Amino acid sequence: MNEQPVSKDILHLVSALLVKLPDPTRQLLVEQVHDALVVNEVPGQVINFAVPSYVMKAQLPDGPVYPIPAVIGDDGELRGELILWLKNGHVIGLEHPWFTDDPPESWPDVAHISFSPG
């Protein structure tokens, strides 16, 4: 896959994942994704980002950004979760682990994200 800009849909999804973080950290991570390039994607499952080195780093530890939201299906059942990954203060990926038999083929709609028990 050639590097390409992050789509508006993915930027919107990431923004929704970060809603529980305080500013300015939340806004910094959204800006990182906005400035990033997608270097690899398996639709609905994983995206790897390349954030330019000039973009300010977040003061967060390497690993997943907490809290990690659940993905809830139209039927109200838990389908998976969405994990935003950081390394060296930069967003490096978005992962969609699934709890169903079949892997997702597309990214969930923001309306299917939940931070509270389903």
Cβ within 8 Å of residue 86, ≥6 positions away: 58, 60, 61, 62, 63, 64, 65, 92
**For position 117, what pLDDT does the model report?**
60
Residue range(s) defining the domain that contains residue 79: 4-114
pTM for the model stands at 0.94
- Number of structural domains the chain divides into: 1
- Whether 33 shows a pLDDT value over 50: the answer reads yes
**For position 2, what pLDDT does the model report?**
84
**For position 118, what pLDDT does the model report?**
47
Confidence of residue 116 (pLDDT cuts 50, 70, 90): confident
